[in-house]
Chains A and B, each alone.
Chain A
Amino acid sequence: MEKPVATVRSAAGISTGMLSIWWLLASEIVIFGGLLGAYIMHRIGHPEWAEYASHTNTWFGTLNTVILLSSSLSAVLAHHAAEQGDGKKAAKLLYMTVGGAVGFLVVKSIEWTIEIQHGYTITANSFWSFYYVAAGIHGGHVIVGALFMLWVAGLAKKNKELQRVEMVGVYWHFVDLVWIFLFPLLYIAK
C-alpha cells in the first residue's frame, strides 16, 4: 500500500512514527499508573498484605529484571545498527530482544506455576489478585511488543522501514520501565 503524503510530513519536527509512539506511551502511563496507583493505595492501607507478599520469589523477579534490562540493551543496539543502515544486524538484534521476551515469559510461567501449586492463586486474596493482574497486563504488553518486533525485524532484514526499529525499541523500553517499577513493588518493598 502506498504511504499517504500525510505519513511522511513532519510539521511538528519529529517523524510521525515516533510522534505516535510517544503519544501511545502517554496513554500507557495512565493505564499502568491507574493500576499501580490502586495497588499502592491498597498495599499501604492493608498491612496484612506484607505476609501475603512475602511469598513472591525475589530471585525469579531479579532474573526477569536482568532479562528485560538485557533485552533493552539489544533493542537499543538494534536501533544503533538501523541508524548505520545495517538492516541485517538490526534484525538480528531485534530477534535477540524477542528471545529475551520469550525468556521473560518462560520464567514467569514457571514462577506462576510454582505459586499456583502452593495455593497462591488469583482468588487467594486481594494481594495476589493485584499481583497477577498487574504482572499479567505487563506480560500482555510483552507479548504484543514481541510480535511487533518480529514484524519489524522481518522488514528490517531486507533493509525496509528501518525507522521502525527505533519506534518498536522505544515501546520496548517502556515495557522495561514498567517492570522497573513493578519489580520493587511486588518483590522488594513487600
Chain B
Amino acid sequence: MAAHKQNFFMKYLWSTDHKIIAMQYLFTGMFMALVGGFLAYAFRMQLAFPGTDIPLFGVVSPGEYNALVTNHGTIMIFWVAMPVLVAALGNYLIPLMVGCDDMVFPRLNRLSYQVFLVSAIIILASFFVPGGAFGGAWTAYPPLSTTAEFSLTPFGSPLWVLAVALEFVAFLMGGINFITTAMNSRAPGMKMFDVPIVVWFIVLASILFMGSVGPLIAGAIMLLFDQLVGTGYFNPGVGGDPILYQHLFWFFGHPEVYVVLLPALGIVAEVITVFSRKKLFAYKIVLYTAIATGVLSFFVWAHHQFVAGIDPRMANVFTVTTVLISIPIAEMLFVYIATLYGGSIRLTTPMLWALAFLAEFLLGGVTGIFLGASGADVYFHDTYFVLAHFHYTFFPIAIISVFAAVTFWFPKMFGRLMNETLGKVHFWITVVCFNGIFLPLFLLGTWGQHRRIYNYEHFPELAGQDMQQLRVFATMCLVVMLCAQAIFLFNFFWSMFKGKKAGKNPWKANTLEWTVPSPPPHGNFAKLPVCYRGPYEYSHPDREEDYWPQDEPASETT
C-alpha cells in the first residue's frame, strides 16, 4: 500500500485511516468519561454532604443538580459508551479482523468523526450558556424539555437536543461503514462464521441502532421545533401528546442498551477465548442468540413507561416480552461460562476485566427482572433500585468491558505492553469500589429513595441516619474509584512511550489483527491475507501450538 509522507495535521487530524479515526473516537470518549465522572463526583458529593461547598465545584444549586445528573447520563451513554465501544473499537478492529486495508468509505468515516466532535463540543458548550446546561433528565420528557418557563434553560435545552441529534447522524454514517465493510470486505476464504464475534456484534449493534433511532430523530426535530418555533407536537393543550414523545424516545432507548451491550459481549468473547486457550463454546448459538436478542429488544420498550399512563393492557404485553428477553442474555452468559470451563485460564489484566464483566452484569441482569414485572415496577419505578440496576449493567458495558478491550488491544495499538501490576491494582480498586457505590443503592431504592432529588434532608422519611450513612459510603467509594483512575491513565500514557515492546502477537491469539506489526502500518497488511479457518481454534488437537492463526494455510502445522 502506498506510504505517503504526511504532516502532523494530515496524519493525525485530517486522516482517513480507520486506525487514526478510531484513536480520535477513543481519546474523545476517554476525555468525556472524565467529564462524566466529574459530574458524578459533584452530584454525589451534594447528596452525601448537602448544601456544602464541594471541593473543585462549589455549592450545588437544585438547578445545577438537575443539570449534573442529566448530563452525566447523556454524556456517559452518547459520548462515552457509544464512541468507545462502537466507533473506536469498530473502526479499529473491523478492517483488521476481516483482513482488509481500511473501511469501505474512508472519507465518510472521517466526516462521521467530525460530526461527532461537533456534537461533543456542543454538549460541553451547553454548560457555559446563560441558564446553564439542560436539566430535564437524559430522557428529556416534555413539557419540561420543551418549555423554558419550566426548564429555566432556554439555551441549554435546544443545544442538548442538537448535540444528541448530531451524535445520531454521526453514528448512522459510521454504522453504514461498519456494516458494509464487514459484509463485503472480508478476506477471501473468510465465511460468515469465520468472522470474530466482536465484529459481528458491532455490526449487529449498528443495525440495531439504525433500525431504532429513526423515530427518535423525528422526535428530536419535533422537540426542537416545540422549543424554538412554538409548535405543539407534545403539547396536549393544542392537540399534541407528551406520551408520544415517551414512546418515540423509548422505542429507540431500549434497543440502544443492546447497541452498547453487544460490543461489550463481543469484547468479552475475544478476551475469554484467548485467555482460556479454548474455542468459543458455540459460535453459531452465540450469533443467533444475539440476533434474537436484537429483534426481541424492539418489543420491550414500554417497560420504561409502566407508570407513565400507558394503557394497562399494553403493560401486560410488555411485561411478558421483557421477562422473555432475559432468557437469551442468560443463555449467552452460560455459553461464556461454558467456554471458560476446562480452559487453561490465564488471569491477565484483560481476563480479570472480562470475568468481572460476567459477574457484575449477572447482578445487573437479574435485578432487571424485578423491574420488568409491571406490578413490582409500580413500586420500584423512579427509585434508586432502577438506578442501581442500570449501573450494574451499564458500568460493566461502558467501563469494565472497555478496560478489558483497552488492556487487551493496547499492545496492538501502540506496540508496547501495559504494566500488569498497575493494571491489576487498578482493576481491584475499581471493581471493589464500584460495588461499594452501587450495592447500597439497591438497598436505598427498596427503602423508598426516589431518583432525581437533590437533597434528601427535605424528605423526613428518607433523611434517617442509616440511609444517609449509606449515601456517604457510596460517595466515598466513588471518590476513591475516581482517584484510582489516575493509575490507569498513568499506565496508559507511560506505557505508550516506555512500555516493554510488544511484538506482533504477545497474547498468542488467532485473529488477523495479531498477524500485522504493532502498531499496524497504513494499509495494515503488506500482503492481504487469505482466511483458512474460524477465529477460535485454540488448543486444537492436531496442533502442537495451542493457537492457530486464521491466515495460516492448513499445511503449515508445526
Whether B215 pairs with A37 at a CB distance below 8 angstroms is yes
Binary contact track B1-43/A, C-beta < 8 Å → 1, others 0: 0100000000000001000000000000000000000000000
Assess whether B219 is interfacial by the CB under 8 Å rule. Answer: yes
Return the contact of B184 from the options A1, A19, A123 (Cβ within 8 A): A19
- Chain A hits for B2, CB < 8 A: 2
Whether B211 pairs with A16 at a CB distance below 8 angstroms is no
| Interface bracket on B | 35 or more
Chain-A contact segment, one of B125-133, B233-241, B368-376, B472-480: B233-241
Return the contact of B104 from the options A1, A16, A26 (Cβ within 8 A): A16
Q: Shortest distance in angstroms between A66's beta carbon and chain B's nearest beta carbon?
A: 27
Whether B231 pairs with A122 at a CB distance below 8 angstroms is yes
Binary contact track B210-234/A, C-beta < 8 Å → 1, others 0: 1111111111011001000111110
Assess whether A62 is interfacial by the CB under 8 Å rule. Answer: no
Assess whether B185 is interfacial by the CB under 8 Å rule. Answer: yes
In whole angstroms, what is the CA distance A14 to B248 when docked? Answer: 34
Q: Shortest distance in angstroms between A30's beta carbon and chain B's nearest beta carbon?
A: 3
Whether B212 pairs with A30 at a CB distance below 8 angstroms is yes
Whether B214 pairs with A30 at a CB distance below 8 angstroms is yes
Whether B248 pairs with A126 at a CB distance below 8 angstroms is no
Q: Which of B423-475 contact A (CB under 8 A)?
A: none
Binary contact track B509-527/A, C-beta < 8 Å → 1, others 0: 0000000000000010000
Return the contact of A26 from the options B210, B232, B238 (Cβ within 8 A): B210
Q: Shortest distance in angstroms between A130's beta carbon and chain B's nearest beta carbon?
A: 8
Whether B239 pairs with A42 at a CB distance below 8 angstroms is yes
Whether B184 pairs with A12 at a CB distance below 8 angstroms is yes
Whether A14 pairs with B184 at a CB distance below 8 angstroms is yes
In whole angstroms, what is the CA distance A20 to B174 when docked? Answer: 11
Whether B105 pairs with A20 at a CB distance below 8 angstroms is yes
Among A19, A26, A34, A35: residue with most chain B CB under 10 A: A34
Whether B240 pairs with A126 at a CB distance below 8 angstroms is yes
In whole angstroms, what is the CA distance A129 to B219 when docked? Answer: 13
In whole angstroms, what is the CA distance A110 to B231 when docked? Answer: 22
**How many A residues face the partner with a CB closer than 8 A?**
40
Assess whether A106 is interfacial by the CB under 8 Å rule. Answer: no
Binary contact track A108-141/B, C-beta < 8 Å → 1, others 0: 0000000000000011011001100100010000
Q: Shortest distance in angstroms between B202's beta carbon and chain A's nearest beta carbon?
A: 14
Assess whether B181 is interfacial by the CB under 8 Å rule. Answer: yes
Assess whether B180 is interfacial by the CB under 8 Å rule. Answer: yes
Assess whether B100 is interfacial by the CB under 8 Å rule. Answer: yes
- Chain B hits for A126, CB < 8 A: 231-233, 238-240
Q: Which of A33-56 contact B (CB under 8 A)?
A: 33-35, 37-38, 41-42, 46, 49
In whole angstroms, what is the CA distance A133 to B103 when docked? Answer: 35
Whether B185 pairs with A27 at a CB distance below 8 angstroms is no
Assess whether A9 is interfacial by the CB under 8 Å rule. Answer: yes
Assess whether B364 is interfacial by the CB under 8 Å rule. Answer: no
Among B2, B104, B177: residue with most chain A CB under 10 A: B104
- Chain B hits for A16, CB < 8 A: 104-105, 180-181, 184-185
Whether B104 pairs with A34 at a CB distance below 8 angstroms is no
Binary contact track A1-36/B, C-beta < 8 Å → 1, others 0: 110111101111010100110011011111111110
Can you give 6 A-B contacts (C-beta < 8 A)? Answer: A16-B184, A30-B210, A31-B214, A34-B248, A122-B229, A129-B232
Known: A23-B210, A34-B219. 12 other contacts (CB 8 A): A4-B101, A5-B101, A6-B185, A10-B184, A14-B184, A20-B179, A26-B210, A30-B214, A38-B215, A38-B248, A125-B238, A126-B233
Binding site for B on A (CB under 8 A): 1-2, 4-7, 9-12, 14, 16, 19-20, 23-24, 26-35, 37-38, 41-42, 46, 49, 122-123, 125-126, 129-130, 133, 137
Going nearest first, the 8 A-B pairs with the smallest beta carbon separation are A34-B215, A30-B214, A31-B214, A35-B218, A4-B102, A6-B185, A126-B239, A6-B100
